[in-house]
Structure 1
Amino acid sequence: MNAAILSFPPATDASTTSDPWTPVCAVDDIVPNTGVCALVAGRHIAVFRVGQNQFYAIDNVDPKTGASVLSRGLIGSLGGRIVVASPLYKQHIDLSSGECLESPAYSVQAHRVSIDGGQVRVALV
């Protein structure tokens, strides 16, 4: 499942609803300690599952190259922060904030994640 881009457009026109959440996949579709890429409102979003119950979402675009690859990065801990290492230049992105630890200029946008009825949902920020 990690190689695929999961695409779930909003069920209704965003102008007619106040619900910002978009379902992206089932919880069990994401293997613990990995990420997937989801297409949410036309944007590539990396959704990560850390352990059994922690979920994070950030823009999937590598800030140095523009390649849509962050969902394939390695998850780890650095200085007490949960991070993903970009598969290209290995910069570390904090999964909670989207901050690049090596250079804030290479930070990405973090998004909200919720679990509802076994579904992972993302709200773009």
Structure 2
Amino acid sequence: MQAMAIEQQGWTVACARSDLVANSGVVAWVEGVQVALFYLPDGEQVFAVENRDPLSGANVIGRGIVGSLAGDLVVAAPLYKQHFRLQDGTCLEYPEQVLKVWPVRVSGDVVEVYLGG
């Protein structure tokens, strides 16, 4: 029983599974942080990345276009169109720009993000 409690520490409910939009982003406020969640139904993948665009400073990443570039799943930032890898948050055009990423899981009817703890 104690092992299960430890496993649950750090996971926070971000939204309902029904809030996810296929091949698109939604933004959730998770413990004071704007988290952009991207749901890709092929492979049932969900990614959680920082919503703040490091180039513009605007909270717009969740409105970016999802695609594939050079074999990487990416989101194109809406303002300056730089591409961020969903897997690790690195920018393909400007390596010094990085989005924070978090582990994410679908647990029943909710989407949970691991912020640590």
TM range (shorter): 0.7 to 0.9
Aligned residue number for residue 66 of structure 2: 75
CA distance in 2, matches of 1:50, 1:105: 26
State the identity %. 44
Structure 2 residue runs of 5 or longer lacking an equivalent are: 1-7
TM norm structure 2: 0.87
RMSD: 1.2
Query: Which stretch has the larger CA shift, 67-76 or 34-43?
Result: 34-43
| Residues 54-93 of structure 1: pairs in structure 2 closer than 5 A | 54-93=45-84
Are 2:29 and 1:50 aligned?
no
TM norm structure 1: 0.82
SS class of match (1:101)? coil
Q: How many residues align?
A: 108
SS class of match (1:28)? helix
Equivalent position amino acid for 1:119 in 2: V
| Residues 104-119 of structure 1: pairs in structure 2 closer than 5 A | 104-119=95-110
The one of the two structures with greater contact order (alpha-carbon pairs below 8 A, sep at least 6) is 2
Aligned residue number for residue 32 of structure 1: 22
Q: CA deviation at 1:124?
A: 2.1
